Amino acid sequence: MRIVLNLYSFLFLCWGILPGALQAQSDTIYSIQTILIQGNDKTKASIIERELNIKVGDRLSPNLLKESIRKSEQRIFNTGLFLDVHIHFQSDSSYHTTLIVEVKERWYTFIVPLIGLADRNFTEWWVERNRDLSRLELGAYWVQKNMRGRNETLKVRGEFGFVKKAEITYSIPYIDRKKKMGIQFYTGWIANRQIPLETIDNKLFYFEDEATRQLARIRRSIAFTFIYRNNFYTQHQWGVNYTLNTIRDTIAERNPRYFLDTLDKQSFVGLKYSFIVDKRDIQFYATKGHLIRLDIENMGLGLSNSLNMTFLKGELTGFQQWSKRIFTAYSIRAKYSLPLSQPYFNQRGLGYEKDALSGYELFVIDGQHFLLQKIQWKLQLLNWKKTIATIPDKRFSTIPLQIWVKAYVDMGYVWDYSGITGNKALANQYLAGGGVGVDIVSFYDFVCRFEYSINRQGDTGFYINFKAAI
């Protein structure tokens, strides 16, 4: 009887104490008194503070403080300035709190030899071009990130191999005190000795004057973009550009549709607006969050005699974590363009850059409109990070490595009204592809994909790519 009474007494005591303890915890408020930033040897503190949604004077509950720290770490990392970001806090008995932001800066200056491929992807070069080394893009690439410690970037690119190229890009993310407005300037000159002349069996057929070795096409362009980032995740971009494209008479004669009407020159002014909402955790290889993007562009403005086109492109991409190692990703991309009669050079459907369908890496599907959907299921096999003490430079001493296995399904449709015979096999019909693969992810935004795919036509293949599929 005494034991039972003691048990009841214990339960009664807990009933009285436990709610009080929980209430005390819920009433805990951390008052941010100081913010310390450490490890930013070059980066201005204001650039890091721009990504913090915690300010001196804020009063936050434990859960809200934890969530704010997580989001702030992701945004600071996505500036591309740091290899690692860690935020923690220290409090006294009165919950007066010091927020400590620790960053590890990247290497910001790269002057490296440039070796790339003139073709759309590695597989096309390996299979269709027979691993022709003369098609390599050779040159030098100078990237100076974080100029003046303000996250400004200067890029200078020069190539002298298969493609002749000279490009300069300068980006200033913030030009105002509130750090909401930025600008970007670009100018470029690109010359090609060999160019796609037409599409045959949904593959690019190239032209080159082997006798004279003269340049087939020259592109000159200059562009200015104004950027407005009104909050942490939303960005508006307004751009204006001038472009001059010229080709040899021989190309215009062999494909009168190249610039339309047997023209050998395009000269036009373009306007572009982009709306972006980016809530991905890691931009170059996301696992959580989402991306919304809308692009509207007009080339010619109705003033050019050689080109007048309007594009509307949209993208919705999402990432979901289901357990510690299991993730999914999906993406819907669409494009609509007018008029329906478009120059061959400017008409793009699926098969170019990220607008690609798994299992169709060797093909292009040209058209005025397209719809593309991707779904991935991923399992993280390895998430490893090793600091090598024998490497003195901390910007290279920590090596992260992630290995993922995945299964994926892509679906797409391209609407084509051009009537090009060589594009009919895959245009204006439902397309699907899928397979399994392995992704390798490491530092300095390195991604390598190994995939085995099959498409709706029954074609199979092993493919290698160097950017995230979604």
What is the pLDDT, as a whole number, of residue 396? 72
Tokens representing residue 371 in the block: 């719809």
Which range has the worst mean pLDDT, 86-100, 272-286, 402-416? 86-100
Q: What is the DSSP letter of 423?
A: G
Which range has the worst mean pLDDT, 64-68, 131-135, 164-168? 131-135
Average pLDDT over residues 5-12: 44
Average pLDDT over residues 178-193: 94
In a 10 Å sphere around its CB, with 0-12 CB exposed, 13-18 middle and 19+ buried, how is residue 113 labelled? exposed
Q: Is the pLDDT of residue 410 over 90?
A: yes
Select 109-465's CATH number: 1.10.3720.10, 3.60.20.10, 2.40.160.50, 3.40.50.300.
Answer: 2.40.160.50
Q: For 153-164, write each residue's pLDDT tens digit.
A: 999 999 887 788
Tokens representing residue 96 in the block: 């007066």
Q: What does the CA dihedral 11, 13, 17, 22 come to, rounded to 10 degrees?
A: 0
Give the angle 391-392-396 at the CA atoms, nearest 5°: 60
Average pLDDT, the chain: 88
In a 10 Å sphere around its CB, with 0-12 CB exposed, 13-18 middle and 19+ buried, how is residue 23 labelled? exposed
Q: Is the pLDDT of residue 444 over 80?
A: no
What is the pLDDT, as a whole number, of residue 2? 42
88 — pLDDT class (breaks 50, 70, 90)? very high
What is the pLDDT, as a whole number, of residue 94? 81
Q: For 420-442, write each residue's pLDDT tens digit.
A: 888 999 999 999 999 999 999 99
- Cα 1 to its chain centre, rounded Å, is 71
24 — pLDDT class (breaks 50, 70, 90)? very low
Q: For 228-285, write each residue's pLDDT tens digit.
A: 998 899 999 999 999 999 999 889 999 999 999 999 999 999 999 999 999 999 888 9
CATH class of 23-105: alpha beta
3-class secondary structure, 210: coil
What is the pLDDT, as a whole number, of residue 116? 66
All structural domains of the chain with their residue ranges: 23-105, 109-465
Q: Please answer whether residues 431 and 455 qualify as being in contact, where contact means their C-beta atoms are separated by less than 8 angstroms.
A: yes
Average pLDDT over residues 278-299: 95
| Three-state SS letters, 429-468 | CCEEEEEEEEEEEECCCEEEEEEEEEECCCCEEEEEECCC
Q: Mind giving me the DSSP string for 315-353? A: EEEEEEE-SSSEEEEEEEEEEEEE-SS--TTT---BSBT
What is the pLDDT, as a whole number, of residue 1? 41
| Amino acid sitting at position 353 | E
